[in-house]
Copies of this chain bind each other. A is one copy, B any other.
């Protein structure tokens, strides 16, 4: 999943700089991707359907308009690692191999917009800002993957679950949604394969968090965060359960 901008945060240093003066006739200005996407084909995907599979030709890049997506790798023996979840506003399918490296499966009914990869690379060859945006997006995703690596390599089961819930809560905050209520469109199995744990462990850790009054679970797809600070201390390894 990718951020390819959107947000109005001009924070990142290098970047993107004043666009004026870059507006050359042929290439669209910055934001061209979004503009192109807006004109792109809409695709509806039913829950559980795959959008693409590892090994498929990378013909298109997609932006998620609605619904949640699970991106994963799987071995012949069935072991699966969920790499990321993508939500509305995220881009999926970017990369520079001619083939997708991941499987992308809709967790619920999904609406996408698609852009042919060839179009994207043609535009990027003309507009330096577009290439830079793509670079920025990949850098962002790389940073997320590195954090995830830390979580899986070093944290305990309880810490991993706490990190996971916090990440969803923070995403809500960024999108101006309630950070105190987290919806889980994925199954326990998806969470387990994301965190390198089993469904039983996920379930037990959620129960422990509930008993510690840190969260509440009204339905199994809906987490209320009762004590965000405790959750952060847990995620940071400053506390245990």
Residues on A lying within 8 angstroms of B by beta carbon are: 11-15, 17, 22, 58, 73, 75-77, 79-81, 83, 94-98, 101-102, 117-118, 120-121, 124-132, 134-136, 138-143, 145-150, 152-155, 193, 195-196, 236-237
Are A73 and B14 in contact, with the CB atoms below 8 A? no
| Of A96, A117, A126, A154, most B-chain CB atoms within 10 Å | A96
Are B150 and A101 in contact, with the CB atoms below 8 A? no
Known contacts A73-B146, A79-B154, A145-B149; is A98 also within 8 Å of B138 by CB? Answer: no
Complex Cα distance, B128 from A116, in Å, reads 19
Are B149 and A83 in contact, with the CB atoms below 8 A? yes
Q: How far is the CB of A86 from chain B (nearest CB, A)?
A: 14
Complex Cα distance, B81 from A83, in Å, reads 18
Are B15 and A96 in contact, with the CB atoms below 8 A? yes
Q: How far is the CB of A21 from chain B (nearest CB, A)?
A: 10
Known contacts A96-B14, A142-B141, A143-B97; is A81 also within 8 Å of B154 by CB? Answer: yes
Q: How far is the CB of A210 from chain B (nearest CB, A)?
A: 25
Known contacts A97-B143, A102-B146, A142-B95; is A153 also within 8 Å of B81 by CB? Answer: yes
Q: CB-nearest residue of chain B relative to A79?
A: B154
Residues of B within 8 A of A14 (CB): 96, 117-118, 120-121
Known contacts A12-B97, A14-B96; is A152 also within 8 Å of B75 by CB? Answer: no
